[in-house]
Amino acid sequence: MEPKPVGEAELKELKDRMNLIVSADPLQYHNEFSLKRYLRAFKTVDAAFQAILKTNSWRVDYGVTTLTRDSPVVKNNLNKAKVLRHRDMHGRPVIYIPAKNHNPNERDIDELTKFIVYCLEDACKKCFEEVIDNLCIVFDLKDFGINCMDNQLIKNLIWLLSRHYPERLGVCLILNAPTLFSTCWAVIRGWLDENTSSKVFFVNTDIELCSYLIPDILPTDM
């Protein structure tokens, strides 16, 4: 799905507003692709500008730039998700999440959320924004049990994508979903807006998966 075009007048107005704060604080920088994503997500210049300011403040308060591969919160969760070396068929970076490695009773939600932020940051840095600036997120539900379901983590991911990584989700693939997941999905779908839910696809065979990515790029060691 092609992103909705952004009006030149709106983009110029947002750029002008951003230039005023960038001159005072260079860390407030957003490139043109970022500004367009915020305009598409938040609809008006005022709403996009306020959302950008909130994201900038959140990034500082949350210590986003301190989340590196050497961070303890990252090292402790490397089996929970992975940004793959290869891309999907559209050139999107791929975040792979094997549900079988997750148990909400054995995780620290704040730590795990920071790890998810690390993955989002890593994947976004791999985008060729001139070509495509969104991501492919793969949830592999092989060996999924109801004990793997973590409503709070899913809510946190939705919040991150909608507030601080707007328009970054290109497609979300649900692989190997067992029948029992249908009940979970009915709940999750209620948390998503129409635009986001339209990007979620259930994939049950390698033939279907080949429409999105080469199956061989998915890890077998997680």
Domain CATH code at residue 119: 3.40.525.10
pLDDT-derived band at 30, boundaries 50, 70, 90? confident
88 and 27 in one domain? no
99 and 201 in one domain? yes
pLDDT of residue 24: 59
190 and 103 in one domain? yes
Domain region containing 17 = 8-62
- Please give the Cα distance from 97 to 139 (Å, whole number): 5
30 and 137 in one domain? no
Is residue 16's pLDDT more than 80? yes
Domain count, the chain: 2
56 and 25 in one domain? yes
pLDDT of residue 21: 77
pLDDT of residue 3: 66
The model's pLDDT over 144-183, given as tens digits with 9 standing for 90+, comes to 999 999 999 999 999 999 999 999 999 999 999 999 999 9
